[in-house]
Structure 1
């Protein structure tokens, strides 16, 4: 893979709250060389210092705070932690993804944030859950209609697991969204809402086909709720994904 595997730090949020530095060290010890934070406003300079010491780059950051705080503050924090990619991970009402008018409003919001991001040297992305996939608008998954309405500079981070839960043929969806997808959340499990996730490679997701459908996308491992020890699952995920690269 051309870029190192990343970890969405929401995966280890409980450990992170107890001891940030030790948690980042364990992520690095599992073989990861990049991370994706979910709260760039939490001590960005301190975070950057620890990440640098551990050899961890920042592949991007989730920032629901963009919808709650002054966007400039979030963009400045992103720069401080060492990334130029800020991703809206949720926060737009689910109902907006059930109609073309709602998708238009969602696109206007994201396009406006992207304009502000550009003034700070930052790029804006959007990350899906199942509620952008389940609704069909004009015969397509809502995320596809949204993509048509987004400004060219807005990229997508497709959560492959939630796309599958929402009913998508994930490799086919990625093929149709080619050119908009810059990152993938790679996760695994039974593909059932409410059930915990497993290490990547230990569940029902067609991981090799998914990765082949978006070969240039950054791969970010995330386990929202884990059925086993989360650090062991992260290590197993890293081993599996790197083995695919070498096969």
Structure 2
């Protein structure tokens, strides 16, 4: 895909370059709200359908889940076709689904399309976990990995779904002058690879979420909403908490986000003590804004 078009100049110019159905506009006052599988993984393991029904009762309308095994943390992994059927029973729409860390991309994209997903996310570049220090890689290794991302993009286009890359804190750290997000944005045109922006991980990297969303513009197709407890310390500490319970100022942040993008937000609280409690708190805090 690189070499078939002029390289996009950089993150700051992306809003002007992107021409997608997700144009910048003020969304409705009550935006749709999604929830990720990871937030309620323990509850799903005990009662998958019952948990989804409780999630729907909290006001969530979409549920995001993986298409296959991603890590041992996904303790409630099920066949995605089965999960989609359970979502339907619970009154939830299939939201952004996540690629498994296997290379059968065409098959996964076919499954995503068959269950009604329109956005498929690549959760991370695994080159950040193959070196001696987790979360670190080289520019050369990352650019080599981009060839795999290109294969994913072709598979997504073949099946008529949108591929997005999900950021973590390391995606905002320059590799010989440019961050991984910048390298992706330059190599791929809008509509080939776009973005799912996790506000919590951006905050860990010291990146302002509003500026990040403004710079990426309509290439942001999905959001992960989590809050950050910067005072967290100790082995039992959980630095990611439900939106509205940390330091990011979601009461002021959400109205600003809604003026920038209509991308659907998915509450994701990593490893909460009580997933349903976290989901309930997030729904209250986010729908009151």
Q: TM-score normalised by the shorter chain: which range applies?
A: 0.7 to 0.9
Which of 182, 201, 216 aligns to 1:162? It is 201
| 1:92 counterpart residue number | 126
| SS of corresponding position for 2:163 | strand
Which of 112, 121, 142 aligns to 2:180? It is 142
**CA separation in 2, counterparts of 1:13 and 1:230?**
7
Q: How does 1:87-236 map to 2 (within 5 A)?
A: 87-94=121-128, 99-133=138-172, 135-137=173-175, 139=177, 141-153=179-191, 154-191=193-230, 195-196=237-238, 197-207=240-250, 208-209=252-253, 212-213=256-257, 214-226=260-272, 228-236=273-281
Check the 8 A contact 2:171/2:181 in 1, yes or no. yes
1:79 and 2:113 correspond: yes
Check the 8 A contact 2:166/2:196 in 1, yes or no. yes
1:58 and 2:86 correspond: no
More helix by share: 1
**CA separation in 1, counterparts of 2:199 and 2:152?**
24
Check the 8 A contact 1:130/1:163 in 2, yes or no. yes
1:12 and 2:40 correspond: yes
Tell me which moved more, 136-145 or 53-62.
136-145
Q: Could you say which structure has the greater relative contact order, defined with CA pairs below 8 angstroms and 6 or more residues apart?
A: 2
The Cα of 1:211 is off from its aligned counterpart by: 5.7
**CA separation in 2, counterparts of 1:142 and 1:45?**
32
Q: Deviations over 1:56-115 (max 9, x none)?
A: 01121011x2x4141122112212332021111024212697554344333332122111
Check the 8 A contact 2:120/2:161 in 1, yes or no. yes
Q: Provide structure 1 residue ranges, at least 5 long, that are not aligned to the other structure.
A: none
CA RMSD of aligned residues (A): 2.5
Q: Provide structure 2 residue ranges, at least 5 long, that are not aligned to the other structure.
A: 1-26, 70-77
**CA separation in 1, counterparts of 2:139 and 2:80?**
38
| 2:288 counterpart residue number | 243
With normalisation by structure 2, the TM-score equals 0.74
| SS of corresponding position for 1:136 | coil
